[in-house]
Amino acid sequence: MNSKSIWIFVIWATVVMWCAPVFSQTIKDGTGLNSQILWSTPGPGNYAFVQSAEILSHRDVSFSVVADHYRKPLGLEVEDTVYWSVARVSAIDFSWAIGLFDRFQVGMVLPVVVEQSGVGASPLFDDNTPVGHREIGTAAVSDLRLHAKTILYRQFPDGTDRGAGLAIDLGFSIPIGDEDNFSGEHAVIWAPTLLMDFRRRWLSAGTSVGVRLRSGDKPGLADAEVGNQLAHGLGITIHLFDDLLMISGETNLLAEIDKFERMGMELRGALGSRPGETKAVTLWLSGARGLANRDEPLLCVPQMRFTLGISYTPSKKEVETGVMF
């Protein structure tokens, strides 16, 4: 072999070695793609899922449990046949929060998938490959979420808890979830969010605007990826009979920042109740419909979702009657 042939071989081998990882990444198997895009948050609020600007009083502690069931959040179309990578999910979010110095609140949320089904990424691969014959696992632990919220502005007329508020939540998720079963990301997701809230008599209105910034590789399925995202929530609640009945209408929007080609929205109706004199326990029942601007639901916006939540949050009425932490 002459020197010219050797150089041609070296150049060819270099190009192949450099391009091999690129070609191997053109079809992604969904590893690190989390189907749980609706984030419940700890602490007080007047909505089922839209985060409020309210925080707990100093050393007050709140707990909540949210049961979530949603269908068909993630699908594939291969040779004119539709497959559901994730067809059905039932999950429970456990959350906790504590107030500090009447200006700060820290909390955590641990989501657990108790049952799910789907074909995963198997339609994309040959049956002889490990991915080609594997369906997703029936249960999994998702990524742990941590939240640190601080009040920027608040106005409480007449010394009550009814007024306007502005807060910022510095949330992020830690990748402890099951990456192989659409329940965990590759890396940390940073999710700073600005919160605005208003409550007066029988009406509450709140909105949140934030981003979800991925610190690692972008997860994806087939030839599409999920990158940094814009997250927006809007909620309106009507309070009747001293909060014995609360009727809420909400929207949650998630959109890709990089190209703005994909966006999805959940439209939600919810019924809530705070029974008893102290109003410390809150119950929520909600149903939502998912909408997306593209047929490929890579944002994991489900076609439908039902949730049932219960929370305990010390209220000012408890403080007045001496029942508090």
Question: Domain of 215: which CATH number?
Answer: 2.40.160.40
Q: Which of 50-59, 184-193, 275-284, 296-305 has the lowest mean pLDDT?
A: 296-305
Which pLDDT value is given to residue 28?
Answer: 76
Q: Which of 156-165, 257-266, 305-314 has the lowest mean pLDDT?
A: 156-165
Q: What span, in angstroms and rounded, lies between the C-alpha atoms of 170 and 186?
A: 20
| 132 pLDDT higher than 60 | no
Are the C-beta atoms of residues 148 and 140 closer than 8 Å to each other? no
Give the structural domain span for 227. Answer: 3-321
Nearest to 41 by CA among 92, 89, 94, 90: 94
Domains held by the chain: number: 1
Residue 28: both structure tokens together: 């992604």
Q: Taking the CB of residue 11, how many other CB atoms lie within 10 A of it? A: 10
Q: Give the length of the chain.
A: 325
Let me know if 212 is exposed, middle or buried by CB neighbors in 10 A (0-12, 13-18, 19+).
buried
Helix H or strand E encompassing 318: helix 316-321
Grouping H, G, I as helix, E, B as strand and the rest as coil, residue 133 is coil
Higher pLDDT, 209 or 75: 209
Nearest to 228 by CA among 178, 262, 252: 262
Q: Taking the CB of residue 13, how many other CB atoms lie within 10 A of it? A: 10
Which pLDDT value is given to residue 298?
Answer: 65
| 12 pLDDT higher than 60 | no
Nearest to 167 by CA among 103, 106, 213, 230: 103
Residues 6+ apart with CB under 8 A from 66: 40, 92, 93, 95, 307, 308, 309
Average pLDDT, the chain: 83
What pairing do the DSSP bridges indicate for beta strands 304-312 and 140-141? unpaired
pTM of the model: 0.83
For 170, 179, 239, 286, 313, the CA distances from 271, given in Å and listed in that order, are 28, 34, 10, 6, 18
Nearest to 60 by CA among 321, 320, 313: 313
Residues 6+ apart with CB under 8 A from 25: none
Q: What span, in angstroms and rounded, lies between the C-alpha atoms of 227 and 215?
A: 10
pLDDT bin (cut points 50, 70, 90) of residue 77 is confident
Q: What span, in angstroms and rounded, lies between the C-alpha atoms of 316 and 279?
A: 9
Are the C-beta atoms of residues 268 and 249 closer than 8 Å to each other? yes
Let me know if 101 is exposed, middle or buried by CB neighbors in 10 A (0-12, 13-18, 19+).
exposed
pLDDT in tens, 253-289: 999 887 667 889 999 999 999 998 889 999 999 999 9
Which pLDDT value is given to residue 201?
Answer: 83
Grouping H, G, I as helix, E, B as strand and the rest as coil, residue 135 is coil
Laid out side by side, the sheet with 224-225 consists of: 28-29, 220-222, 224-225
pLDDT bin (cut points 50, 70, 90) of residue 161 is low
Which pLDDT value is given to residue 125?
Answer: 78
The residue with tokens 């002459």 is 2
Cα atoms in the Cβ-side hemisphere of radius 13 Å centred on 158: 4
| 218 pLDDT higher than 70 | yes
Residue 157: both structure tokens together: 């007329």
Nearest to 238 by CA among 196, 273, 287, 290: 273
| 20 pLDDT higher than 60 | no
